[in-house]
Chain A
Amino acid sequence: MGFSTTLTVNGVIRTVQLDDPRLTLLDLLRERLGLTGTKKGCDRGQCGACTVLLDGRRVNSCLALAISHDGAQVLTIEGVAYGNRLHPVQEAFLANDGLQCGFCTPGQIMSAIGLIAEGGAGGDAERVREGMSGNLCRCGAYQGITEAVLEAERALGAADRKEVA
Chain B
Amino acid sequence: MKPFDYVRPATVREAVAAAAEPGAAYLAAGTNLMDLMKGGIIGPSRIVDITHLPDLDRIEELPDGGVRIGALVRNADLAHDRDFARRFPAVAEALLSGASAQLRNAATVGGNLLQRTRCAYFYDVAGACNKRDPGSGCDARGGDNRLHAVMGWSERCIATHPSDFCVPLVALDAVVELEGGAGRREIPLETFHRLPGDAPQHESMLGPGEMIVAVRLPAEAARFAAHARYLKVRERTSYAFAVVSAAAALRLDDDTIADARLALGGVAMKPWRAREAERILAGARPDASVLCRAAEAALAQAKPSGDNGFKIVLARRIVVRALALAAAGTPAPMPALPASPFA
Contacts and interface: CB of A to CB of B under 8 A. Distances in A.
A58 B102 contact: yes
B105 A58 contact: yes
Interface in A86-119: 111, 114-115, 118
- Count class of interface residues, chain B: 20 to 34
Contact of A130 (B1, B27, B51, B337): B337
Interface residues of A, number: 34
A65 B27 contact: yes
B154 interface: no
Interface in B1-42: 1, 3-4, 6, 8, 27, 29-31, 34-35, 38-39
Given A64-B30, A127-B337, A20 B3 contact: yes
Contact of B6 (A54, A59, A67, A130): A67
Interface in A36-73: 43-45, 48, 51, 54, 57-60, 62-65, 67-68
Given A68-B30, A130-B337, A118 B101 contact: yes
Contacts of A111: 101-102
Contacts of A62: 34
A63 to B, nearest CB: 5
Interface in B85-120: 99-103, 105-106
A60 B101 contact: no
Interface of A: 3, 20-22, 24, 43-45, 48, 51, 54, 57-60, 62-65, 67-68, 111, 114-115, 118, 126-127, 129-135
Given A21-B6, A59-B102, A133-B101, 16 more contacts: A24-B34, A45-B102, A48-B100, A59-B106, A63-B30, A63-B31, A64-B106, A68-B8, A68-B51, A111-B101, A111-B102, A115-B101, A118-B76, A130-B237, A130-B337, A131-B101
Contact of B3 (A22, A64, A67, A129): A22
Nearest to B49: A68
Contact of A21 (B38, B47, B102): B47
Given A64-B106, A67-B6, A134-B102, A45 B338 contact: no
Contacts of A127: 337
B238 A133 contact: yes
A58 B106 CA distance: 9
B99 A134 contact: yes
A65 B30 contact: yes
15 contacts: A20-B3, A21-B6, A24-B34, A44-B35, A48-B100, A58-B102, A60-B102, A64-B34, A65-B30, A68-B52, A114-B101, A118-B76, A126-B337, A129-B237, A130-B237
A108 to B, nearest CB: 12
Contacts of A20: 3
B14 to A, nearest CB: 16
A65 B103 CA distance: 14
Contact of B102 (A43, A51, A129, A130): A51
Task: Pick from A51, A131, A133, A135 the residue with the most CB of B within 10 Å.
Answer: A133
A62 B338 CA distance: 26
Nearest to B338: A130
10 smallest CB-CB distances across A and B, nearest first, come from: A134-B100, A133-B238, A21-B6, A133-B239, A57-B105, A63-B34, A134-B102, A59-B106, A60-B102, A58-B102
Contacts of B76: 57, 118
B343 to A, nearest CB: 9
Task: Pick from B8, B30, B101 the residue with the most CB of A within 10 Å.
Answer: B101
A21 B4 contact: yes
A44 B30 contact: no
Contacts of A54: 106
A133 B47 CA distance: 31
A3 B49 CA distance: 14
A44 to B, nearest CB: 5
Contacts of A126: 337
Given A51-B102, A63-B106, A127-B337, A45 B35 contact: yes
A54 B102 CA distance: 10
Nearest to A55: B105
